[in-house]
Structure 1
Amino acid sequence: MLSDILHSIQAHRDHEPTVISLGQIWVDVMIKVPQFPVPGSFISAESYSRSVNGSFAVLEAASRMGAHTELASVLGTGPWSDMIRTALAHANIRHTGLTNKTVDNGSRLVINDGEQRSFISAPGAEVHTDEKTFEHVHPKTGDVVHINGASLMNNGATAVAEFISRPECAVAMRDFQIVFNPTSMVSTVNERLFEDLVLLHPIWSLNRQQGRAIADRLGIELDESASMRVDGGFDESMSNLCDSLAEVLRAPVVLRAGSRGAWLREHGKQTEHIDGFETKATHIRSAGPTHTGALCALLANGWNLESAVQIANAAASLAISKNINGVPQCPTFDEAAELVKKALAELNAEENNLNNYYSFSSPAPRRSALHSHSIVSSPE
């Protein structure tokens, strides 16, 4: 589905909504090698680069898409922390969290041979958290709080658990939105914390692998028969997965699928497929954080979820084509909107040609595949 959502008027707000991330940030050291070395051997790298990762990619995307952004998690002191602070300043992201003056932020070694990657993590200040870490975080009306699954894999779980247990975070009480993107290692999350997250009813933003991991954790039996067909049945299996997750979670689910776009299921509605945009996959890191960050920014700026997903699809596609050293670079809102506009123009031209053809030969076929291209009014 591709909808015309680009001629909307921003709603007036007394407070400028902000994307607040509780996620952790570290530095990735990425090394490209011709092949993985065997133990005890020596090998020369083809390339070497460093970049700030973790929830930074989400916040950077949100900032690029026009939202006010804040990092609420812990930063340390040292060379990695300095690099992170410089990146935050360059991306107009405010650090409102605590500073640990005794330890540097962590790093992660990423070894890539062009086909597969291996990771070696060395955590730092970002995991030095406790129940008081997010005492200063008090979201206001219209804000979007981002929670990353990586924060649930270590001591960060204590801080997140304390935050989501507040009365103001309860579904019936909160006037802000929560977006949670898990990792495929969700099976290691504490049972009580995972249950609390489910009861929080956030917007779940996840890819196929993460979706299957969540389904396994929830005991959902998936129908994989579609994927056994000659055509692969990818679309059908994604729709079924999105359906199953949303039914059990009873919360909005955004199931990302790269250039195929995303499947969206909002509570009480039918699952719908929102078209993606073709792009050449030349990146090393996933564009998932870009999609999630763009989604958070658009929600903070008043767009409804369906429209936000559509523009986030465009942002993720452009981020891949704009990658630097394999790291996707999120575009601006105007650039993402222009891609949507171009796709709509091409779609309308195709429909007009189809209608003109059938007007001279036979009655036009029913537009069952095109009826969903109606205008979605947003922002709300």
Structure 2
Amino acid sequence: MLHEFMPHAFTRPTRPQAASVLSLGQVWVDVMMDVNEMPPSGGFSVSQAVNATIGGSFRVLQAASRMGSPAKHAGIIGNGMWGTAVREALAHNGIDHIGQDRLDSDTGFRLVLNDGEHKTFIATYGAESQGDVSTFDAIEPRVGDVVHISGNTLMDHSSSGIEAFFARTALDPDDRPYTLVINPTNALELVSEQLLENVVLARPIWSCNRQEAHTLAERLGVPLSDAKKFTVGGAFDEAMEDLCGSLGETLRAPLILRAGSHGAWVREPGGAVTHVPGFPVKSVHTRSAGACHTGAFCAMLAQGWSMLDAVHIANAAASLAIERNIAGVPDCPDRQDALALAEGHGQGKGE
């Protein structure tokens, strides 16, 4: 059964905006290079533009901060050129670093080659991925806080720190004082069976795009719809509803299935799938607005909004982020602009 979310006059939460958004994800630097064509092995290519931005969970925290919630980065930052860039970006956006520092290693970076049709990624891992079982020992979420975990943190040495954090703070999902939000990656096949089982048993709120949801479903043995239904001209909405329903039932946890301007499909345990419409916008970005959506959603939860209202506001924030992109990177709006669009008082240029 599908429910359609009907935009309405929001009942604004009365909770004081003291609860924080904490990210246990990784932050690195993205060096984006526009090229006419991808160079072959041993070949040569000239870049027309180079843009260095802070990537990873930074975009989630930046969005949470702009949406009015205290934002805190609990991951590791290194010592060097890239680590300095990360620290400056966090400070500029009012994001506190409450995680560990490494003096013997710099933060890593990703080289992103974009020829207009495809993007090729080359990663150099640094301090952000060099955690251990003690990485998050000092992290103590308070009542009402929202803790964000990205899929990257589940795939390297920091994963042992995530397992220890779960064992210390998330043993009983029904008696957890904070809210746990996880957005996985397409590389979930690299996550160990034991860790994936522990994450599923923690029953977080899962926020996925279609590709991430497909990968997660395959790992969990969830039957998938015909891939043709997800194409233009196919039964896209029906396929998204089916995927959200079947995956959400297996997870026994809240699931958000994002689809850009198509909006999001949401399933809460024991309930029907609800479609929360998106906001049409011109596709002029080269990076996904998923991090903005996740950060805005986390901020709204920390401020006491309902899950469906939080998704609706996050849809608006992501739409505006794409419209206001900087060099192809979506740039999250502030809380006032996102709420205005969500409540029907603002119009995007792409509408």
TM bucket normalised to smaller = over 0.9
Aligned-partner residue type, residue 88 of structure 1? L
- 1:220-369 equivalences under 5 Å are 220-224=222-226, 227=229, 231-342=233-344
Aligned-partner residue type, residue 184 of structure 1? N
Task: Tell me if structure 2 keeps the 8 A contact 1:2–1:344.
Answer: no
Structure 1, unaligned runs of 5 or more: 346-380
In the superposition, relative to structure 1, how do residues 6 and 25 fare at CA in structure 2: closer, same or farther (>3 Å)?
Answer: farther
Task: Tell me if structure 1 keeps the 8 A contact 2:8–2:343.
Answer: no
Equivalent-residue separation in structure 1 for 2:232 and 2:78 (angstroms): 52
- Is residue 2:13 matched to residue 1:10? yes
In the superposition, relative to structure 1, how do residues 315 and 85 fare at CA in structure 2: closer, same or farther (>3 Å)?
Answer: same
Task: Tell me if structure 1 keeps the 8 A contact 2:26–2:57.
Answer: yes
Q: Which moved more, 1:4-13 or 1:249-258?
A: 4-13
In the superposition, relative to structure 1, how do residues 327 and 306 fare at CA in structure 2: closer, same or farther (>3 Å)?
Answer: same
Aligned-partner residue type, residue 262 of structure 1? A
- 1:1-380 equivalences under 5 Å are 1=4, 3-13=6-16, 16-224=18-226, 227=229, 231-342=233-344
Equivalent-residue separation in structure 1 for 2:70 and 2:194 (angstroms): 32
Q: Secondary structure at the match of 1:273?
A: strand
User: Shift of the alpha carbon at 1:2?
Assistant: 5.0
Equivalent-residue separation in structure 2 for 1:16 and 1:228 (angstroms): 41
TM-score when normalising by structure 2:
0.94
Say how many residue pairs are matched.
344
User: Shift of the alpha carbon at 1:341?
Assistant: 2.6
Q: Secondary structure at the match of 1:268?
A: coil
Equivalent-residue separation in structure 1 for 2:230 and 2:319 (angstroms): 28
Task: Tell me if structure 2 keeps the 8 A contact 1:5–1:307.
Answer: no
Q: Share of identical aligned residues, percent?
A: 45
Give the number of the structure whose alpha-carbon radius of gyration is greater. Answer: 1
Q: Secondary structure at the match of 1:32?
A: strand
Structure 2, unaligned runs of 5 or more: none
User: Shift of the alpha carbon at 1:5?
Assistant: 4.9
In the superposition, relative to structure 1, how do residues 135 and 210 fare at CA in structure 2: closer, same or farther (>3 Å)?
Answer: same
Equivalent-residue separation in structure 2 for 1:248 and 1:158 (angstroms): 25
Q: Secondary structure at the match of 2:312?
A: helix
User: Shift of the alpha carbon at 1:41?
Assistant: 2.2
Aligned-partner residue type, residue 66 of structure 1? G
In the superposition, relative to structure 1, how do residues 162 and 272 fare at CA in structure 2: closer, same or farther (>3 Å)?
Answer: same
In the superposition, relative to structure 1, how do residues 168 and 160 fare at CA in structure 2: closer, same or farther (>3 Å)?
Answer: closer
TM-score when normalising by structure 1:
0.87
Aligned-partner residue type, residue 10 of structure 1? P
